[in-house]
Amino acid sequence: MVMGFELFCATMIGLLLGAVICFGGYRFFLFLLPIWGFFFGFGLGAQSVQALLGGGFFGTVTSWAVGFVLALIFAVFSYLYYIVAVAIMGGSLGYGVVVALLGAIGFPFAFITWIIGIIAAVAMAFITIRFNLAKYVIIAATALGGAALSIGTLVMGVNGVSMEKASGNLVGSMFEGSPFWTIIFIVMALAGMFVQWRAGQYYELEPYENRI
């Protein structure tokens, strides 16, 4: 009964936090900067060790250590430098979409998946900065990320997906389950993009000066 209550609380927290990010990511972007950088860096570091050295996601002390160090670097630099924050946001969008799609069509996470994701991340970060697409990349990344967090939390609770598997590829875990979850994820992500785009017509994010 205790475990059931803990799972319920974790699910509700994931749902609420995911909904806030999905529908309000652009407005709360400055607040989300270090948090987004931390979690993206943590996941990227762990997956990099997994791809290069083998083992499961967070399956070794090295993956935890590299993930934590990269998380701190991304979080600090996101807070200090706006252009770095935007680049990380663009990179996370490129990396996350590519890795999730490859997982959805049956490619297991391995070195080739990781290197394609890294190339997509670098390319998306460059495109975001070069063509001043920060606003639209922030909206897309937070809408997709928030929807993935909300629906992925439900999938973990309802379908019994393990934390390790979901952390490694949250969207891929949804695709592997019932098509219902995939449809709900897409609908929520698109709705989040629309709501943020409409709100963004009356609110413009002001880039901040370097903080050091």
Residue with tokens 């609420």: 16
Q: Which amino acid is at 111?
A: F
Residue 179: per-residue pLDDT = 78
What's the rounded Cα separation, in Å, for the pair 142 and 135?
11
* Residue in 123, 53, 25, 144 with CA at minimum distance from that of residue 45: 53
pLDDT in tens, the chain (212 residues): 344 666 677 778 888 999 999 999 999 988 888 999 999 999 999 899 989 988 776 778 888 899 999 999 999 999 999 999 999 999 999 999 999 888 878 787 889 999 999 999 999 999 999 999 999 999 999 999 999 888 888 877 665 555 555 555 556 566 665 678 888 999 999 999 999 999 888 888 877 777 77
Cβ within 8 Å of residue 18, ≥6 positions away: 146, 147, 148, 149, 150, 151, 152, 153
Quick one: pLDDT at residue 1?
A: 38
Q: What is residue 3's predicted lDDT score, i.e. its pLDDT?
A: 45
What pLDDT sits at residue 174?
62
Q: How far is the CA of 120 from the CAs of 168, 202, 206, in angstroms?
A: 18, 31, 27
CA distances from 164 to 29, 56, 58, 60, 101 (A): 28, 8, 7, 12, 19
Give φ, ψ of 14 to 5 degrees: -60, -40
Q: Are 193 and 139 in contact (CB under 8 A)?
A: yes
Q: What pLDDT sits at residue 107?
A: 80
Strands annotated E in the chain: none
Q: Which amino acid, one-letter code, is at 7?
A: L
pLDDT value, residue 159 = 58
51, 37 contact by CB (below 8 A) = no
Cβ atoms 134, 93 nearer than 8 A = no
